C-alpha cells in the first residue's frame, strides 16, 4: 500500500459544486504524487443550508424534539451520508476509482453517549480493505457506531476528530484539515483585518487555542493527534496553488517529507 494521507473537508468545502470541485482537485494532486487518500467529509454547508446538521435537526423541532438522543442521531448523521454520496458520485465522474463508507462502515466504534459520543477505537480493517480496491475512500465524518450497534454522532467538530482517529488507525503520514481560511490565524479574519497566519503550532498550543475559542480544529482532534504523534496541516480549500498553511505538531516532519 502506498503512503496514506487523510484529507478532511468541512461543510463550507463541500457546500456547492465549485467548492467540491476544488476539494477533488486537492485529492487528485495527492493521488498524482502516489498517495492513497482517505477523504473525510462533513455535512454540506453551515446552519441554514438545507442539508446542514442544524437544518436537519430543526425538521423535528431541534431541542424541543420528542425524539430521544439515540433517535436524533439517526437524523443528525444524514447530512454526512448525503455529502459522502454526492462527493463519491463527483469523484467517479472525474474518472477516479473510489469507495464510499459511512462512519460505522469505516470501523469507528464509540461509547453510547448519543449526540456527543467519544471514539473508543477504530478498526482499520474496513479501510485497509477499501484501499486495496481503490486509491480514494470517501468517509462520512462525525459518525460512529455505539456499543449497542446504533449510529452515533460525535458532537460539534466531530469530523475533525473522525479524520484524526482514522489517520491514527491507518498510521497515515499526516492529516490535512481543509477549511475556508488559509490556516490558524492570530484573530478572526472576518472581524480583524490585521489577523495574521500562524505558520507552526505545537499540539499543546493549538489545544489551548481551541479550548479558548479558536474554531479551526476541534480540541478533541488535537488531543488525538498529539497522542498518535500525527502531524496536521490546516489549509484553505480555495487555495489551489502552493500557498500558506498552519502546521500543527512536529515542524521537522514537514521539512523532511514531501507533502502535497
Please state the φ and ψ torsions of residue 110, each to the nearest 5 degrees.
-130, 175
C-alpha closest to that of 43 among 159, 146, 137: 159
**Is position 243 within any domain?**
no
DSSP 185: B
Q: Please give the Cα distance from 260 to 242 (Å, whole number).
A: 9
Place of cell 467517479: 92
pLDDT (mean) for 233-253: 83
Whether residue 142 contacts residue 159, with contact meaning beta carbons closer than 8 Å, is answered with: yes
**Is position 229 within any domain?**
no
C-alpha closest to that of 196 among 204, 188, 207, 208: 188
What's the structural domain count of the chain? 1
Kind and range of the H or E element at 162? helix 158-170
What is the DSSP annotation of 55-101?
HHHHTTTGGG-SS-HHHHHHHHTHHHHHHHHHHHHHHHHTT--EEEE
**Is position 195 within any domain?**
no
What is the arrangement of strands in the sheet containing 151-153, beginning at the earlier edge strand?
A: 119-122, 108-110, 143-145, 151-153
Place 156 in a pLDDT band, splitting at 50, 70 and 90.
confident
- The CA dihedral of 151, 154, 159, 164, to the nearest 10 degrees, is -100
C-alpha closest to that of 102 among 124, 83, 125: 83
Residue 129 belongs to a domain with what CATH number?
3.40.1160.10
DSSP 3-state of 235: strand
Place 157 in a pLDDT band, splitting at 50, 70 and 90.
confident
Query: Each residue of 159-198: pLDDT tens digit?
Result: 999 999 999 999 999 999 999 888 888 877 777 888 888 9
Grid coordinates belonging to 156: 460539534
**Is position 118 within any domain?**
yes
Whether residue 207 contacts residue 152, with contact meaning beta carbons closer than 8 Å, is answered with: no
Grid coordinates belonging to 80: 454526512
**Is position 146 within any domain?**
yes
**Is position 170 within any domain?**
yes
Q: How are beta strands 136-140 and 36-41 bridged, if at all?
A: parallel
pLDDT (mean) for 38-42: 98
Query: Each residue of 61-94: pLDDT tens digit?
Result: 988 999 999 999 999 999 999 999 999 999 999 9
**Is position 134 within any domain?**
yes
**Is position 249 within any domain?**
no
Q: Which domain holds residue 142?
A: 4-183
Amino acid at each position: 500500500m502506498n503512503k496514506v494521507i487523510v484529507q478532511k473537508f468541512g461543510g463550507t468545502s463541500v457546500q456547492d459544486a465549485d467548492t467540491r470541485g476544488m476539494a477533488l482537485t486537492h485529492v487528485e494532486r495527492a493521488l498524482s504524487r502516489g498517495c492513497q487518500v482517505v477523504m473525510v467529509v462533513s455535512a454540506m454547508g453551515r446552519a441554514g443550508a438545507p442539508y446542514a446538521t442544524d437544518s436537519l435537526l430543526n425538521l423535528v423541532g431541534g431541542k424541543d424534539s420528542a425524539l430521544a438522543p439515540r433517535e436524533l442521531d439517526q437524523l443528525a448523521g444524514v447530512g454526512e451520508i448525503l455529502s459522502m454520496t454526492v462527493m463519491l458520485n463527483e469523484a467517479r465522474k472525474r474518472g477516479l476509482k473510489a469507495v464510499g463508507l459511512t462512519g460505522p462502515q469505516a470501523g469507528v466504534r464509540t461509547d453510547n453517549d448519543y449526540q456527543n459520543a467519544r471514539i473508543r477505537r477504530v478498526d482499520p480493517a474496513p479501510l485497509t480493505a477499501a484501499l486495496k480496491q481503490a486509491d480514494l475512500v470517501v468517509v462520512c465524518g462525525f459518525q460512529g457506531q455505539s456499543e449497542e450497534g446504533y449510529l452515533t454522532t460525535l458532537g460539534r467538530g466531530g469530523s475533525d476528530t473522525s479524520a484524526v482517529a482514522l489517520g491514527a488507525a491507518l498510521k497515515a503520514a499526516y492529516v490535512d484539515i481543509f477549511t475556508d481560511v488559509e490556516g490558524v490565524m492570530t484573530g478572526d479574519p472576518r472581524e480583524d483585518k490585521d489577523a495574521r497566519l500562524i505558520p507552526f503550532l505545537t499540539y499543546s498550543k493549538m489545544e489551548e487555542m481551541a479550548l479558548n475559542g479558536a474554531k479551526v480544529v476541534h480540541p478533541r482532534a488535537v488531543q488525538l493527534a498529539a497522542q498518535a504523534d500525527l502531524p496536521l496541516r490546516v489549509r484553505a480549500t480555495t487555495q489551489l496553488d502552493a500557498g500558506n498553511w498552519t502546521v500543527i505538531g512536529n515542524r521537522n516532519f514537514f521539512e523532511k517529507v514531501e507533502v502535497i
